[in-house]
Amino acid sequence: MSFAIEFVTDVPFEIDRNRTSAIAEALQSSAPETQRGTVNVAFVDDETMRAYNRDYRGIDKTTDVLSFHYFDDFSECSPDEVAGEILLSESRIREQAPEYGNTAEEETYKLLVHSLAHLLGYDHETDEEYEKMRTVEEGVEKFLKDSYPTHIPSPKL
């Protein structure tokens, strides 16, 4: 069993829960050991996102997604224990989706892949880290492209 994705606010777009589960399963295969627990996902407004970005990253502006993990390794979590949280900005998703050739729904999936990879320990601060993270993200994107009829373009980092 892998970790579960739980939306804890109203979801402003059509989201296929089977697809979000598939994202978690596909990312799980890249983790060194089975991760458990629940990842809460919340859609927030830009004012809230800006406050979190300022308070936790020292960047006083809004962003599209933030992820927070409560354990370095959540392989020992119980299935209902919250292992991390993801904040998504509805307005940023709606604004940037067309830039990447996505619908808001597809952009949400792309950001879920990216933020869940962060929760699993991947980052993109160096070129080497970026390449590792992109390899994982591209693997999940390929799986989704093969399993679902929509396309998720690569992110512009």
CATH of the domain at 120: 3.40.390.30
Task: Establish if 155 belongs to a structural domain.
Answer: no
Mean predicted confidence (pLDDT) in 140-150: 77
Read off the pTM. Answer: 0.85
Residue 45 covered by a domain: yes
> Going by C-beta distance under 8 Å and a sequence separation of 6 or more, which residues neighbour residue 128?
none
Summarize pLDDT for 114-128 with one digit per residue, the tens: 999 888 888 888 999
Predicted confidence (pLDDT) at residue 149 exceeds the cutoff of 70: no
Question: Is 27 exposed, middle or buried (CB count within 10 Å of its CB: 0-12, 13-18, 19+)?
Answer: buried
Give domain status of residue 152, yes or no: no
In a domain, 153, yes or no: no
64 vs 139, higher pLDDT:
64
pLDDT digits (tens, 9 = 90+) for 27-65: 877 766 667 888 999 999 999 999 999 999 999 999 999
Q: Is 127 among the domain residues?
A: yes
Residue at 19: amino acid letter: R
C-alpha to C-alpha distance for 84 and 154, rounded to whole angstroms: 24
In a domain, residue 154? The reply is: no
- Tell me if 116 is assigned to some domain: yes
Give the range of the structural domain holding residue 82, as residue numbers without chain letter.
4-147
Residue 91 pLDDT > 90, yes or no? yes
- How many structural domains does the chain have? 1
